[in-house]
A and B are shown apart, each in its own frame.
Chain A
Amino acid sequence: MNETTNQPDEKKERIPAMQSLLDNPFLLLFIGVAMPTVFYLMWGIMEIVTIPVAP
């Protein structure tokens, strides 16, 4: 099946980086879990544990 010759540009052209990111569910999974873990959970818990003790 050598029909690739019919559509040379389409198949040869490299997939843009953003599209490969969007096509990679596991990379997205990693980012999607890391973001809220860092910004919401870890930062939030740090704030709580550094609250001073009442005088």
Chain B
Amino acid sequence: MTSFMPPADRIWWKVPVGRQEIIWIAIALVWCLILFFMMPYWHIYGKQNLSNEAYQTTPAKFGAKVQAMIDQYKVGEEAGIPIVKPPAGSDVYLLGRLWQWYPILDLEKDKTYRLHLSSMDWQHGFSLQPININIQVVPGYEMVITVTPDQAGEYGIVCNEYCGIGHHTMVGKLYVKE
């Protein structure tokens, strides 16, 4: 009847609000504040936060850093892709390109690394499985994440940003060893 008619009172702003609505609004507001403060709280006390360290870069520049790391720390090869075992605590580089993650990283459990991510061409999605960590990889930007793998195992890196016809073949690998 009246949701599609002009309000019954000319000055509807002054019509008192029912107790039920007031109570609900109060409860909802408190909940919204909790939702909000959980984020800063987690920045201080939580362990899973993205750093906002990032740089503008170019495919050539980033590719050179990846290659330098491979030249120095290559320990093997799998399916034609180098396996690299950089020292604990160091900077490690991973690039996404059509359609592979390159190279394969071999990390030590409970050690902290600075993981640099960038793309050589289109956008890609770094999706570390089965642990399920998902990060957008954008060409022209080098993102640095400080990561401490705390479970040993063999992980897949699925590309979860659509990157053309070979998207589903873009799978990388990452080892975490004791």
**A→B interface (CB under 8 Å):** 10-11, 13, 15-16, 18-19, 22, 51-55
**Which residue of chain A lies nearest to B57 when distances are taken between CB atoms in the complex?**
A54
The interface bits of chain B over 43-64 (1 if a CB of A lies within 8 angstroms of the residue's CB, else 0) are 0000000000011110001100
Whether the Cβ atoms of A54 and B10 lie closer than 8 Å is no
**A52 to B11, Cβ gap below 8 A?**
no
Q: Are B14 and A16 in contact (CB under 8 A)?
A: yes
Nearest Cβ on chain B to A52's Cβ, whole angstroms: 6
Contact count band on B: 10 to 19
The one of B10, B11, B13, B55 in contact with A51, judged by C-beta atoms closer than 8 angstroms, is B55
- Residues in A whose Cβ lies below 8 Å from that of B14: 16
User: In the complex, how many angstroms separate the beta carbon of A17 from the nearest chain B beta carbon?
Assistant: 9
B12-42 contact mask (Cβ, 8 Å, vs A): 1 or 0: 1110000000000000000000000000000
B108 on the A face (CB < 8 A): no
Nearest-neighbour CB distance to chain A for B60, whole angstroms, equals 11
B12 close to A51 (CB less than 8 A): no
Collect the chain A residues with CB atoms within 8 Å of residue B141's CB.
51
Q: Digitize B72-116: 1 where CB-to-A-CB distance is under 8 Å, 0 elsewhere.
A: 000000000000000000000000000000000000000000000
- List B contacts of A16 (CB < 8 A): 11, 13-14
Q: A22 CA to B11 CA in the complex, in Å?
A: 12
- A15, A19, A22, A54: the one contacting B142 at CB < 8 Å is A54
